Structure 1
Amino acid sequence: MKFRPYEDMRRALNLSSRLIVHEWSTAGVTGIPGYSTYVGNAAKAARFLKYGGYIGIGFAFAGTTNDIADACTKGREGECGNIAFKEYSKFAVTTAGGMAGGVYGGAAMMGICTGVGIATVGVGGVTCAAVGSMVGGYMGSTGAESIIKKVIEYYDN
């Protein structure tokens, strides 16, 4: 049996969102107990992870800048521009790779965990997405780092 998409069915039955919600409330359907708390906690965790990521990027940038400053002050001033280009390129590419990997890893793990049923446990869904994001971020960052190293080696020779 083929069902039409929800929006088409809603229009075919001449139902508005307002009417549907009104019918729910007259039927005695109330909110889902604990749902707002769960959504609020998930939003807090997402904000925490987001700011933690920005702090991590800041530390990585500071470390890259420190490495460049160290290399440029130890008798290799002539190579300073070349070193800076290489290191900042590596930083940018690994950061972008880590971010992309984190997004795709988190989405993949949420799909897997939802399929298994872990997402219904509450904090398990957030934890599952966080683990997937970390693994995906690590894989994206290390993969991007190896690619940029190969590109730099190619242009150095």
Structure 2
Amino acid sequence: MGINGIPGYSDFVGNAAKAARFLKYGGYIGIGFSFAGTTNDVVDACSKGRENECGKFAFKEYTKFTLSTAAGIGSGTVGASAGLAACAAIGIVTAGAGGVACAVVGSMAGGYIGSKAAELGVDMIFQDYGK
């Protein structure tokens, strides 16, 4: 029987692969926009009469960007697994679309929490850096 014997299975697998590629590229695009925003903040701060603080501000902002991105990726990966486990624990079917939804929600929550925690950590570390 095999895979050919399950109606719609190949369509489902193909659609899941397309969704995964879309989410992957969407993440790269988001990181690019975040980097562009950080660069814009640095250029803006360095061009408004605070040139003497420019290096310090740039170091802080690019450190924040790098650490929050890395923490978001790592905690998003953990969050995807946690989302699947939580859905399985409360009895939501984790096969197919239910599993993808649980992983996406867990990944988004984990990524957001990790990213914000890293940002707060960098702000706490560098709070007196520019003074």
The alignment's TM-score, normalised by the length of structure 2, stands at: 0.88
Q: 1:148 aligns with which of 85, 107, 122?
A: 122
Aligned to 1:23: none
- In the TM superposition, residue 101 of structure 1 has moved relative to its aligned partner by 1.2
Deviation at 1:44, TM superposition (A): 1.2
State the AA in 2 paired with 1:131. Answer: V
- Tell me, yes or no, if structure 1 residue 119 matches structure 2 residue 94: yes
Find the partner of 2:49 among 75, 82, 98. 75
Q: Which moved more, 1:86-95 or 1:41-50?
A: 41-50
Cα distance in 2 between the residues matched to 1:151 and 1:80: 18
Structure 2's unaligned 5+ residue stretches are: none
Deviation at 1:154, TM superposition (A): 5.5
Report percent identity of matched pairs.
59
**2:66 alignment partner in structure 1:** 92
Who wins on radius of gyration, i.e. which is larger? 1
Q: Is this contact kept in 2: 1:45–1:126, CA < 8 A?
A: no
The aligned residue for residue 13 of structure 1 is none
Equivalenced residue count is: 128
The CA deviation at 1:135 is 0.5
* Structure 2 counterpart of 1:131: 105
- Give per-residue Cα distances to partners, 1:37-84, cap 9 Å, x unaligned: 222222111111111110000000000000000000000011111110
Q: Over the residues paired in the alignment, what is the CA RMSD in angstroms?
A: 1.7
Residue from 66, 80, 90 that aligns with 1:106: 80
Q: Does 1:35 align with 2:41?
A: no
Unaligned runs of 5+ in 1: 1-28
2:17 and 2:2 map into 1 onto residues whose CA distance is 22
The C-alpha deviation readout for 1:6-65, integer Å capped at 9, x for no partner, is: xxxxxxxxxxxxxxxxxxxxxxx3333333222222211111111111000000000000
The TM-score normalised by the length of structure 1 is 0.75
Higher relative contact order (CA 8 A, sep 6+): 2
